[in-house]
Structure 1
């Protein structure tokens, strides 16, 4: 299934999404994306595996993945974050619904200082392609250089949630999040492959 990933190798991802190089220190290789991500997890900065997953997944899938990750941390999130995640859940199920789009757009007006706010912002930026200047009230629109702002926001949201996990449990939670992201990447690859027929 890894052959069907939208970025077959780590280098493919870095070439298509140059913004990822600003979010992580690891250098790309010709290694298959799934293997590269697992090596990041086993490396000196395992959080970079989260970053890689955020860019590896298509934007809508990345937003869903972030929602699921943060859903596992609900006891560490405040009421506002939980409400934002509920809006994101509804948006993912019907992204073209004007009601859900409006709700996410309004939620994205919250400055992205919490995990849920980052994920709402990712959904808003995904809805606006590469982030139309002026479309986001509470946060600056992404710069022209940052061509994948939804992935950047997903990364920030998941890492902000992970930072709330006790140190003793953090690597186990991080590993579970990465495995969930890689499984979703493989499912997306299968779905896109089936759609091509």
Structure 2
């Protein structure tokens, strides 16, 4: 399965995307990516497994994964965020639909203040790339210039959502999110292998 991953080892991911080192402190190894991710989950800072998955997944898949994670937390969000989450879900299903693209782009131009706002930003960055840089708030300007800005926003959104979960439940929810990300990476790997 690992051969189909876009980054076979953790070292491959860190080499291709040095920006990940700004979001996590664990140093990469030449360990297979999925095994490395599971080791992060069992490690001292299990939240880094979320970060690793955000960068491991292709951008659209990462946004979908984030949408699915936050969909499990909807009782923690207000009506506006629930509506926004539905818009992101529409975009993931049909990213080329002009109506969905316009809805996500409009929301992504607003600085994120909630977990769902970060996910909308990730979708907007994925959709519009550097074209969005000109519309971003000055505090967010450095992110579009770095590689993989959508991964950074996915990471921020999921971790911000996780921070709203009761402490007693947090590790169980974190583990479920990471397992979902790993499954998504394995699906992406199978699809890549089938394409060749």
Fold shared, TM-score > 0.5 on shorter chain: yes
What secondary structure does 2:134 align onto? coil
2:175 aligned with 1:156, yes or no?
no
Alignment of 1:1-197 (within 5 A): 1-130=1-130, 132-136=132-136, 140-143=140-143, 146-196=146-196
Against the structure 1 CA distance between its residues 90 and 136, is the aligned structure 2 distance closer, same or farther, given a 3 Å change threshold? farther
Q: Aligned equivalents of 1:66 and 1:138: distance in 2?
A: 25
Against the structure 1 CA distance between its residues 96 and 108, is the aligned structure 2 distance closer, same or farther, given a 3 Å change threshold? same
Q: Note the alpha carbon deviations across 1:95-142, whole angstroms, 9 max, x for none.
A: 011111000011113321101100000000001235642144697344
Post-superposition shift, 1:78? 1.3
Aligned residues: 196
TM-score (norm 1): 0.95
Q: Aligned equivalents of 2:114 and 2:138: distance in 1?
A: 13
- The root-mean-square deviation of aligned C-alpha atoms, in Å, is 1.6
Decide which structure has greater helix share: 2
Unaligned runs of 5+ in 2: none
Unaligned runs of 5+ in 1: none
Q: Aligned equivalents of 1:148 and 1:9: distance in 2?
A: 18
Q: Aligned equivalents of 2:114 and 2:189: distance in 1?
A: 30
